[in-house]
Structure 1
Amino acid sequence: MIRLAAIEDASTVAALLDAFNREFDTPTPGPAVLAVRLTHLLAAPTTYAVLAEDPAVGVALVTIRTNVWADGAVALLDELYVVPGQRNGGLGSALLAVVEQTARDRGCDWLEINVDGEDTDARRFYERHGYSHHDEGQTEPQLYYSRDL
Protein backbone atom coordinates (compact mmCIF):
# COMPACT_ATOMS: atom_id res chain seq x y z
CA MET A 1 0.00 0.00 0.00
CA ILE A 2 1.42 3.38 -1.05
CA ARG A 3 -0.29 6.50 0.26
CA LEU A 4 0.19 10.19 0.85
CA ALA A 5 1.20 10.97 4.41
CA ALA A 6 -1.05 13.09 6.60
CA ILE A 7 0.11 15.58 9.21
CA GLU A 8 -0.58 12.86 11.79
CA ASP A 9 2.12 10.75 10.11
CA ALA A 10 4.88 13.26 10.90
CA SER A 11 6.45 11.00 13.55
CA THR A 12 6.47 8.01 11.18
CA VAL A 13 8.04 10.04 8.38
CA ALA A 14 10.56 11.46 10.87
CA ALA A 15 11.57 8.02 12.14
CA LEU A 16 12.20 6.77 8.60
CA LEU A 17 14.18 9.87 7.60
CA ASP A 18 16.25 9.59 10.78
CA ALA A 19 16.95 5.91 10.01
CA PHE A 20 17.97 6.90 6.47
CA ASN A 21 20.56 9.38 7.68
CA ARG A 22 21.86 7.03 10.37
CA GLU A 23 22.26 4.20 7.85
CA PHE A 24 24.55 6.40 5.76
CA ASP A 25 26.34 8.07 8.71
CA THR A 26 24.81 11.44 7.88
CA PRO A 27 24.04 13.89 10.70
CA THR A 28 20.44 14.02 11.90
CA PRO A 29 18.81 16.13 14.61
CA GLY A 30 16.83 13.05 15.66
CA PRO A 31 13.27 11.92 15.06
CA ALA A 32 11.69 14.22 17.66
CA VAL A 33 13.08 17.37 16.03
CA LEU A 34 12.26 16.08 12.56
CA ALA A 35 8.68 15.30 13.62
CA VAL A 36 8.14 18.89 14.80
CA ARG A 37 9.52 20.25 11.53
CA LEU A 38 7.47 17.81 9.46
CA THR A 39 4.27 18.71 11.30
CA HIS A 40 4.69 22.26 10.00
CA LEU A 41 5.97 21.28 6.55
CA LEU A 42 3.23 18.74 5.83
CA ALA A 43 0.60 21.34 6.71
CA ALA A 44 1.80 23.51 3.81
CA PRO A 45 0.80 22.91 0.18
CA THR A 46 4.47 23.02 -0.86
CA THR A 47 5.51 19.80 0.88
CA TYR A 48 4.19 16.26 0.73
CA ALA A 49 5.37 12.84 1.83
CA VAL A 50 4.51 9.38 0.58
CA LEU A 51 4.59 6.25 2.75
CA ALA A 52 4.94 2.60 1.71
CA GLU A 53 3.21 -0.21 3.60
CA ASP A 54 1.67 -0.35 7.08
CA PRO A 55 3.66 -0.25 9.23
CA ALA A 56 5.67 2.05 6.99
CA VAL A 57 8.92 0.68 5.55
CA GLY A 58 9.53 3.37 2.94
CA VAL A 59 9.14 7.11 2.56
CA ALA A 60 9.54 9.88 0.01
CA LEU A 61 9.59 13.60 0.83
CA VAL A 62 8.97 16.28 -1.80
CA THR A 63 9.02 20.07 -1.84
CA ILE A 64 7.44 22.17 -4.57
CA ARG A 65 8.57 25.58 -5.75
CA THR A 66 7.88 27.94 -8.60
CA ASN A 67 10.52 28.52 -11.25
CA VAL A 68 10.93 31.19 -13.89
CA TRP A 69 11.77 28.54 -16.52
CA ALA A 70 8.60 26.51 -16.10
CA ASP A 71 4.94 27.28 -16.69
CA GLY A 72 4.09 25.15 -13.69
CA ALA A 73 5.92 24.41 -10.48
CA VAL A 74 9.01 22.27 -9.98
CA ALA A 75 9.09 19.38 -7.53
CA LEU A 76 12.26 18.39 -5.69
CA LEU A 77 12.46 14.85 -4.36
CA ASP A 78 14.28 15.61 -1.12
CA GLU A 79 14.39 12.03 0.15
CA LEU A 80 13.41 8.54 -0.95
CA TYR A 81 14.16 5.70 1.47
CA VAL A 82 13.22 2.06 1.83
CA VAL A 83 14.46 0.12 4.87
CA PRO A 84 17.24 -2.36 4.00
CA GLY A 85 15.22 -5.56 4.40
CA GLN A 86 12.51 -4.32 2.00
CA ARG A 87 14.69 -3.16 -0.90
CA ASN A 88 14.66 -4.64 -4.41
CA GLY A 89 11.00 -5.58 -4.15
CA GLY A 90 9.49 -2.67 -6.07
CA LEU A 91 8.62 -0.36 -3.16
CA GLY A 92 11.07 2.33 -4.29
CA SER A 93 9.58 2.28 -7.78
CA ALA A 94 6.06 2.41 -6.35
CA LEU A 95 6.98 5.36 -4.12
CA LEU A 96 8.54 7.17 -7.08
CA ALA A 97 5.45 6.58 -9.24
CA VAL A 98 3.19 8.15 -6.59
CA VAL A 99 5.65 11.02 -6.12
CA GLU A 100 5.56 11.72 -9.87
CA GLN A 101 1.78 11.48 -10.17
CA THR A 102 1.23 13.69 -7.13
CA ALA A 103 3.65 16.26 -8.54
CA ARG A 104 1.73 16.26 -11.84
CA ASP A 105 -1.57 16.56 -9.97
CA ARG A 106 -0.18 19.58 -8.11
CA GLY A 107 0.80 21.35 -11.32
CA CYS A 108 4.49 20.49 -11.53
CA ASP A 109 6.21 20.41 -14.90
CA TRP A 110 9.29 18.48 -13.80
CA LEU A 111 10.89 16.64 -10.91
CA GLU A 112 14.44 17.22 -9.73
CA ILE A 113 16.52 14.83 -7.64
CA ASN A 114 19.92 15.36 -6.01
CA VAL A 115 22.02 12.20 -5.69
CA ASP A 116 25.48 11.81 -4.19
CA GLY A 117 27.94 10.96 -6.96
CA GLU A 118 29.25 7.91 -5.13
CA ASP A 119 25.73 6.52 -4.51
CA THR A 120 25.78 4.27 -7.56
CA ASP A 121 22.73 2.28 -6.43
CA ALA A 122 20.58 5.43 -6.28
CA ARG A 123 21.99 6.72 -9.56
CA ARG A 124 21.21 3.42 -11.27
CA PHE A 125 17.69 3.41 -9.76
CA TYR A 126 16.84 6.90 -11.04
CA GLU A 127 18.45 6.34 -14.44
CA ARG A 128 16.41 3.14 -14.80
CA HIS A 129 13.32 5.32 -14.27
CA GLY A 130 14.29 7.78 -17.00
CA TYR A 131 16.18 10.42 -15.03
CA SER A 132 19.37 11.95 -16.37
CA HIS A 133 22.20 14.01 -14.95
CA HIS A 134 22.45 15.89 -18.25
CA ASP A 135 20.13 18.57 -19.56
CA GLU A 136 18.82 17.85 -23.05
CA GLY A 137 21.44 18.79 -25.62
CA GLN A 138 24.27 19.02 -23.09
CA THR A 139 27.15 16.60 -22.72
CA GLU A 140 28.51 17.70 -19.34
CA PRO A 141 26.81 16.47 -16.15
CA GLN A 142 24.73 18.78 -13.99
CA LEU A 143 26.38 19.68 -10.71
CA TYR A 144 24.87 20.62 -7.39
CA TYR A 145 26.53 23.25 -5.20
CA SER A 146 25.70 24.23 -1.65
CA ARG A 147 27.00 26.42 1.14
CA ASP A 148 26.08 27.02 4.76
CA LEU A 149 24.60 30.48 5.33
Structure 2
Amino acid sequence: MAGEDARLATGGDARDVARLLHEARAERATPAPRAEVLAERLAALLEREDTFAIVAGTPSIAVGLVTLRPNVWSGTIAVLDEVFVAVDARRAGVGSAVLALVVAEAARRGATVLATEVGEADVDPQRFLERHGLVIVDPATDDRTLAVRRSIR
Protein backbone atom coordinates (compact mmCIF):
# COMPACT_ATOMS: atom_id res chain seq x y z
CA MET A 1 0.00 0.00 0.00
CA ALA A 2 1.33 3.46 -0.94
CA GLY A 3 0.65 4.96 2.49
CA GLU A 4 3.17 2.57 4.00
CA ASP A 5 5.95 4.15 1.96
CA ALA A 6 5.16 7.75 2.88
CA ARG A 7 8.43 9.62 3.22
CA LEU A 8 10.06 13.02 3.39
CA ALA A 9 10.49 14.45 -0.11
CA THR A 10 13.83 15.77 -1.35
CA GLY A 11 14.70 18.29 -4.04
CA GLY A 12 14.79 15.34 -6.43
CA ASP A 13 11.05 14.85 -5.86
CA ALA A 14 10.24 18.40 -6.96
CA ARG A 15 8.68 17.34 -10.30
CA ASP A 16 6.42 14.74 -8.66
CA VAL A 17 5.37 17.17 -5.93
CA ALA A 18 4.71 19.88 -8.53
CA ARG A 19 2.62 17.48 -10.62
CA LEU A 20 0.46 16.60 -7.62
CA LEU A 21 0.09 20.23 -6.54
CA HIS A 22 -0.95 21.15 -10.07
CA GLU A 23 -3.51 18.29 -10.08
CA ALA A 24 -4.89 19.53 -6.77
CA ARG A 25 -5.43 23.04 -8.10
CA ALA A 26 -6.89 21.77 -11.38
CA GLU A 27 -9.39 19.59 -9.49
CA ARG A 28 -10.64 22.66 -7.63
CA ALA A 29 -10.43 24.87 -10.73
CA THR A 30 -8.04 27.16 -8.84
CA PRO A 31 -5.44 29.08 -10.83
CA ALA A 32 -1.88 27.86 -10.39
CA PRO A 33 1.48 28.31 -12.06
CA ARG A 34 2.46 25.65 -14.58
CA ALA A 35 3.86 22.45 -13.06
CA GLU A 36 7.31 23.31 -14.47
CA VAL A 37 7.30 26.62 -12.58
CA LEU A 38 6.21 24.88 -9.38
CA ALA A 39 8.94 22.26 -9.80
CA GLU A 40 11.60 24.94 -10.13
CA ARG A 41 10.39 26.69 -6.97
CA LEU A 42 10.08 23.42 -5.07
CA ALA A 43 13.58 22.26 -5.96
CA ALA A 44 14.93 25.22 -3.99
CA LEU A 45 12.29 25.26 -1.22
CA LEU A 46 12.61 21.57 -0.36
CA GLU A 47 16.29 22.09 0.45
CA ARG A 48 15.38 24.59 3.19
CA GLU A 49 14.47 23.80 6.80
CA ASP A 50 11.29 25.91 6.72
CA THR A 51 9.58 23.99 3.91
CA PHE A 52 9.03 20.27 3.54
CA ALA A 53 6.82 17.82 1.70
CA ILE A 54 5.73 14.29 2.46
CA VAL A 55 5.00 12.03 -0.51
CA ALA A 56 3.60 8.52 -0.84
CA GLY A 57 3.78 6.06 -3.71
CA THR A 58 6.14 5.47 -6.62
CA PRO A 59 5.39 7.45 -8.63
CA SER A 60 3.95 9.73 -5.97
CA ILE A 61 0.17 9.61 -5.60
CA ALA A 62 -0.14 11.81 -2.50
CA VAL A 63 1.53 14.88 -1.07
CA GLY A 64 1.47 17.06 2.01
CA LEU A 65 3.31 20.36 1.61
CA VAL A 66 4.21 22.37 4.71
CA THR A 67 5.73 25.77 5.37
CA LEU A 68 6.99 26.55 8.87
CA ARG A 69 6.80 30.06 10.20
CA PRO A 70 7.60 31.75 13.50
CA ASN A 71 4.66 32.91 15.56
CA VAL A 72 4.55 35.06 18.67
CA TRP A 73 1.74 33.01 20.28
CA SER A 74 2.94 29.47 19.73
CA GLY A 75 6.58 29.59 18.68
CA THR A 76 6.39 27.89 15.30
CA ILE A 77 3.32 27.14 13.18
CA ALA A 78 3.34 24.44 10.53
CA VAL A 79 1.11 25.67 7.71
CA LEU A 80 -0.24 22.77 5.67
CA ASP A 81 -0.18 24.51 2.30
CA GLU A 82 -1.66 21.49 0.52
CA VAL A 83 -2.63 17.91 1.18
CA PHE A 84 -3.69 15.99 -1.88
CA VAL A 85 -4.29 12.37 -2.84
CA ALA A 86 -4.81 11.35 -6.47
CA VAL A 87 -8.45 10.48 -7.15
CA ASP A 88 -7.81 6.77 -7.77
CA ALA A 89 -5.93 6.40 -4.47
CA ARG A 90 -8.47 8.00 -2.14
CA ARG A 91 -10.18 6.19 0.72
CA ALA A 92 -7.29 3.76 1.13
CA GLY A 93 -5.53 5.44 4.05
CA VAL A 94 -2.84 7.13 1.97
CA GLY A 95 -3.88 10.64 3.01
CA SER A 96 -3.92 9.61 6.66
CA ALA A 97 -0.40 8.17 6.37
CA VAL A 98 0.85 11.36 4.70
CA LEU A 99 -0.79 13.58 7.32
CA ALA A 100 0.60 11.49 10.19
CA LEU A 101 4.11 11.92 8.81
CA VAL A 102 3.45 15.66 8.24
CA VAL A 103 2.59 16.02 11.93
CA ALA A 104 5.62 14.01 13.04
CA GLU A 105 8.03 15.96 10.82
CA ALA A 106 6.53 19.32 11.81
CA ALA A 107 6.94 18.42 15.49
CA ARG A 108 10.51 17.25 14.85
CA ARG A 109 11.23 20.67 13.32
CA GLY A 110 9.84 22.47 16.37
CA ALA A 111 6.27 23.30 15.33
CA THR A 112 3.63 23.34 18.05
CA VAL A 113 0.58 24.02 15.86
CA LEU A 114 -0.60 22.66 12.50
CA ALA A 115 -2.90 24.98 10.55
CA THR A 116 -4.46 24.98 7.08
CA GLU A 117 -7.21 26.54 5.02
CA VAL A 118 -10.16 24.70 3.51
CA GLY A 119 -12.98 26.02 1.37
CA GLU A 120 -16.46 26.10 2.85
CA ALA A 121 -17.82 24.00 -0.04
CA ASP A 122 -15.02 21.40 0.28
CA VAL A 123 -16.97 19.06 2.54
CA ASP A 124 -14.88 15.91 2.01
CA PRO A 125 -11.58 17.67 2.78
CA GLN A 126 -13.21 19.24 5.85
CA ARG A 127 -14.25 15.79 7.10
CA PHE A 128 -10.76 14.42 6.45
CA LEU A 129 -9.10 17.28 8.32
CA GLU A 130 -11.53 17.10 11.23
CA ARG A 131 -10.92 13.33 11.56
CA HIS A 132 -7.27 14.22 12.06
CA GLY A 133 -7.83 16.94 14.65
CA LEU A 134 -7.87 20.06 12.45
CA VAL A 135 -11.18 21.53 13.59
CA ILE A 136 -13.19 24.22 11.87
CA VAL A 137 -15.38 24.91 14.90
CA ASP A 138 -13.65 25.52 18.22
CA PRO A 139 -15.31 23.05 20.62
CA ALA A 140 -14.72 25.38 23.58
CA THR A 141 -16.47 28.40 22.06
CA ASP A 142 -18.49 26.96 19.13
CA ASP A 143 -16.91 29.71 16.96
CA ARG A 144 -16.07 28.90 13.35
CA THR A 145 -12.48 29.45 12.26
CA LEU A 146 -12.09 31.80 9.31
CA ALA A 147 -9.02 32.51 7.21
CA VAL A 148 -9.02 35.80 5.36
CA ARG A 149 -6.54 37.01 2.80
CA ARG A 150 -5.91 39.66 0.21
CA SER A 151 -3.62 39.55 -2.77
CA ILE A 152 -0.95 42.27 -2.66
CA ARG A 153 0.60 41.64 -6.07
TM-score w.r.t. length of structure 1: 0.95
CA distances 1:72-126 after superposition (whole Å, capped 9, x unpaired): 3110100001100000000000000000000111111110011111100000111
Alpha-carbon distance between aligned partners in 1 of 2:28 and 2:93, rounded to the nearest angstrom: 21
Bigger mean CA deviation after superposition, 35-44 or 80-89: 35-44
Equivalent position to 2:62, from 58, 62, 85: 58
Alpha-carbon distance between aligned partners in 2 of 1:96 and 1:11, rounded to the nearest angstrom: 20
Equivalent position to 2:72, from 46, 68, 90: 68
Equivalent position to 1:10, from 10, 14, 17: 14
| Deviation beyond 6 Å, 4+ runs, structure 1 | none
Gaps of 5+ in 2: none
Number of the residue aligned with 2:98 = 95
Alpha-carbon distance between aligned partners in 2 of 1:58 and 1:7, rounded to the nearest angstrom: 16
Number of the residue aligned with 1:81 = 84
Instruction: Quote the sequence identity (%).
Output: 42
CA distances 1:13-39 after superposition (whole Å, capped 9, x unpaired): 001111111122111211100011111
Match of 1:66, SS?
strand
Alpha-carbon distance between aligned partners in 1 of 2:24 and 2:132, rounded to the nearest angstrom: 21
Tell me the matched-pair count.
Answer: 148
Q: How far apart are 1:136 and its partner, in Å?
A: 5.7
Which has the bigger relative contact order, CA under 8 A and spacing at least 6?
A: 2
Number of the residue aligned with 1:108 = 111
Note the aligned Cα RMSD (angstroms).
Answer: 1.1
Number of the residue aligned with 2:129 = 126
Alpha-carbon distance between aligned partners in 1 of 2:124 and 2:137, rounded to the nearest angstrom: 18
Matches within 5 A, 1:30-69: 30-69=34-73
TM-score w.r.t. length of structure 2: 0.93
Gaps of 5+ in 1: none
Match of 1:55, SS?
coil
